[in-house]
Amino acid sequence: MTTGRKRSNNPLGLPDRVYAKHGALYYVHRDKTWERLGTDLAEAKRKGNLYNDPDSSYGTMAYYLDSFIVHCEKRVAKNTLATRTYEDYKRNVEILKPFFGRMTPPGIEPKHVAQYLDLGVDNDRPVRANREKACLSACFTWLIRTGEGSIKVNPCSGVRRNKETPRERYVEHNEFHGVRKLAVRQVRGLMDLIYRTLQRPEDIIQWTPAENIVVKREPDGSTRRVIRNDQGKTGAIVDIAITPDIDAIIKDLRMDGVPANSDMTLIHRMDGEPYTYDGLCAMLRRYVSKTPDNKQRKSRKEPIAGFGFYDLKAKGATDMWLSGIPLEQIQVLCGHDSVTTTEIYVKCRWRGTVEPNRVKMEHEHVQSKPQLNCTLAESEKTLF
């Protein structure tokens, strides 16, 4: 197969130098080396167009942002970058391009980054602008490390991000059970596992019986079944004891006959394929809106009391703290760097009633007030 000849038949609409072979798509570089682009047609076209540079974007931030995403994909394959982070970066890059795409890396200054953040505030998306700025900063860090782009300084450094208000949502018990009662088994199981284990929902939906449910030998020689989770955000591995409550959740999720040594995810679709996190979030939002309380709110044209999967992690941590579980144990489950972070995380959501100061003072001195009906002369005597 030659690469210089114009192909006469191209039903897939492949870019130049991109070919289908052995069930996958490949790009043939000018040095005749073949690079496997995978099986996703849209991704293969995107990479092919990047390498071909049909828009003459080489040297611009649009080019380097796309190159950064290709680099991130390779990191995911090496398990040095979380898939969720890669997906976030890929989405953020497309939003960054209209503002920064035609600029060159050396031409971007801190003032431009600040203008982008201000634009986010003006469009009621200050937090999203912060996340996109973080992606841009990661791209510049990569350019500096690789020597690409002719830059030595990250223009994002020192630019203060938009103010963010910490989320303090606490999901009440009746809210949790109201949604759980309506939810299908998969959503119900994810809600329960998040609440019991405090793990990230993106990690939980990847759990399989074969990889994550293991028998662990304790130091005293006894054995115990645990859920072994590789926390995608921190990279730490935590073993979570399978209590009767958690065992019941797992059995409920495996009601369709998933074997104990299966590579199929515990939370999966009817066809056996895993759910996407966005898909499960959409399902949760629908169930939240269908609770009787939220139906009444909608009839009164009031905003619904919504919550997400991460709010259930915060609820579980807060409820553990209120029940007397040490913060150090909650910290390990949450994957926080310090106990202080965990303490802030749980206490900011607590809305319990605080008792006032009931301490009685031993002696209370009551100072008599001056009489107001005294004469001017008497007042002068008092003052002088």
First to last CA, the chain: 113
Bridge-partner residues for 239, per DSSP?
Answer: 228
- Same-domain check for residues 177 and 314: yes
Whether the Cβ atoms of residue 109 and residue 153 lie closer than 8 Å to each other: no
CATH at 89: 1.10.150
DSSP string, 270-309: TTSPBPPHHHHHHHHHHHHHTSHHHHHHHHTT-------H
- Same-domain check for residues 143 and 204: no
- Same-domain check for residues 194 and 342: yes
Question: Within a domain: residue 17?
Answer: no
Distance CA 281, CA 307 (A): 10
> Does residue 339 sit in helix, strand or coil?
helix
Structure tokens at 196: 């019991």
Question: Within a domain: residue 43?
Answer: no
- Same-domain check for residues 69 and 142: yes
Range of the domain at 143: 53-150
- Same-domain check for residues 101 and 225: no
Question: Within a domain: residue 369?
Answer: no
> For the chain, how many structural domains are there in total?
2
- Same-domain check for residues 146 and 184: no
- Same-domain check for residues 239 and 117: no
- Same-domain check for residues 222 and 338: yes
- Same-domain check for residues 193 and 130: no
Whether the Cβ atoms of residue 312 and residue 191 lie closer than 8 Å to each other: yes
Whether the Cβ atoms of residue 190 and residue 330 lie closer than 8 Å to each other: no
Positive or negative: CA dihedral 66, 76, 137, 169 = positive
- Same-domain check for residues 205 and 271: yes
- Same-domain check for residues 110 and 211: no
Question: Within a domain: residue 372?
Answer: no
Question: Within a domain: residue 163?
Answer: no
- Same-domain check for residues 276 and 319: yes
In tens digits, the chain (384 residues) has pLDDT values of 444 556 777 888 888 888 888 888 988 876 677 878 888 888 888 778 777 876 666 778 998 999 999 999 999 888 888 887 898 999 999 999 999 998 989 999 999 999 999 999 999 899 999 999 999 999 999 999 999 888 899 999 999 999 988 778 899 999 999 999 999 999 999 999 999 999 999 999 999 999 999 999 988 999 999 999 988 777 789 999 999 999 999 999 988 777 777 889 999 998 889 998 888 999 999 999 999 999 999 899 888 889 999 999 999 999 999 999 999 999 999 999 899 999 988 988 877 777 898 888 876 555 555 554 544 444 444 433
Question: Within a domain: residue 187?
Answer: yes
CATH at 317: 1.10.443.10
Distance CA 90, CA 260 (A): 35
Structure tokens at 152: 């030595």
